[in-house]
Amino acid sequence: MWTPSVSLQLPAPTPELAERVLAFCRLLRQEGLAATPAHSGVAVEALRRVDVGDREDFRLALRAVLTSGADELEHFDELFRLFWEGSLETSEALQRAEERESEAVAAEDASAQYSAMEALAHKDFADVQTEEDREALERALRTIARKLAARRSRRMRPAQHGGRVDVRRTIRRSLRFGGTALELARRRRDVRKTRLVLICDVSRSMDQYSRFLLQFVYAFQRGAGQVESFVFGTRLTRVTRYFRQPSIRSAVDQIEQEVLDWSGGTRIGASLAAFNRDYRAAVDRSTTVIVLSDGLDTGDLDVLDEQMALLSRRARRLIWLNPLLGSSPDHALGRGMRRALPYVDTFAPGHNLATLEALAKVL
């Protein structure tokens, strides 16, 4: 029986009904339908043109503006019954919608805080001079690395608490109780850690970028459990253990002091040969390898070619971030970079905050 819990007055929807429609739209978004805030306003307007006291007119009016294709109709009707007809207690639906709204507000707040330093987002790391800017960038790098460290899969799994209401399982369970949903089934997305190997160039030509890139590596490793980190100039050094320290600056300072070829020459091919020989087990077909380097190799380019070919065959994906691609594009494709490029799946700049954040989309 159609028994809306608010008074439905003609000709215009009451403020209470309009508020319920907004909550219903939030529930639709939560369950994967494309009911944007703009659609909410259209939905309220559509109800002005029908008899909102007629259950079928009411449902069809909302369905016409809040679905985007035939494949969404069945899901919409299930949610409609749950929300408007009492199969699911209205308070439960509203509570979940309010929770999602709170999360959205929190996300907006975080976005607002981030926008306060948006002027730094496109600033070349080489141009960062003040301590205030350095600290702001360090905070942002930690935030970006945490995003990258945990990526959500599309697969949904049953959950005891939190997550979304699993509408189909809730309805199936309700059949045991005469159609009354006494128990809500829930689901949430799996969270999978990204398995990564990070290899950072700390040669002299990378001086102006190395510290920021190492801070990024540090934050990344602190946020993910399956990360191996290396630096190289003329030779390779594993630095995973340094990044277990609680302080990002002390970790980078110690690396700078103890890595003997810091700010020296560059032998990318020889360094990758050492990696492929000594740390072969760190890479398999589930591993993404990220090289952070300007590609200015002073070593044997045939060795570079050979080692890049080997690494690309073993890794799931090979990403090369080159700061020169963003700061000095004309110099980004030197002899070494040209030899490495055929084996690279993604070639991108890495000279500022915005380019590192863009890595999230690549991963």
Task: Give the model confidence (pLDDT) of 282-307 as tens digits.
Answer: 999 989 999 999 999 999 999 999 99
Query: Which pLDDT value is given to residue 212?
Result: 87
Q: If you average pLDDT over every residue of the chain, what do you get?
A: 79
Determine contact, residues 236/328, Cβ cutoff 8 Å: no
pLDDT band at 91 (very low <50, low <70, confident <90, very high): very low
pLDDT band at 192 (very low <50, low <70, confident <90, very high): low
pTM summary value:
0.59
CA quadruple 79, 81, 86, 91: dihedral, nearest 10: 20
pLDDT band at 270 (very low <50, low <70, confident <90, very high): very high
Determine contact, residues 101/26, Cβ cutoff 8 Å: yes
Please, where in the chain does CATH 3.40.50.410 lie? 196-362
Report residue 149: phi and psi, to 5°.
-65, -40
Task: Give the model confidence (pLDDT) of 122-176 as tens digits.
Answer: 888 988 888 888 888 888 877 777 666 555 444 556 666 555 666 666 666 656 6
Second CATH level (architecture) for the domain 196-362: 3-Layer(aba) Sandwich (3.40)
**3 pLDDT above the threshold of 50:** no
Q: Which of 278, 257, 272, 201 is nearest to 233 (CA)?
A: 201
Indicate the residue type of 12.
A
Query: Which pLDDT value is given to residue 166?
Result: 66
Task: Decide: residue 155, CB within 10 A, 0-12 exposed, 13-18 middle, 19+ buried.
Answer: exposed
Q: How many other β-carbons are positioned within 10 Å of the β-carbon of residue 282? A: 21
Q: Give the span between the Cα atoms of 162 and 159, in whole angstroms.
A: 7
Determine contact, residues 244/283, Cβ cutoff 8 Å: no
Weakest mean pLDDT among 153-162, 189-198, 345-354 = 153-162
Q: How far is CA 152 from CA 103, 147, 179, 201, 210, in A?
A: 17, 10, 33, 30, 29
Name, in order, each residue with C-beta under 8 angstroms of 101's C-beta and a sequence gap of 6 or more: 26
Determine contact, residues 213/239, Cβ cutoff 8 Å: no
Q: Give the span between the Cα atoms of 209 and 295, in whole angstroms.
A: 13
Task: Give the model confidence (pLDDT) of 222-256 as tens digits.
Answer: 766 588 999 999 999 999 999 888 777 888 888 98
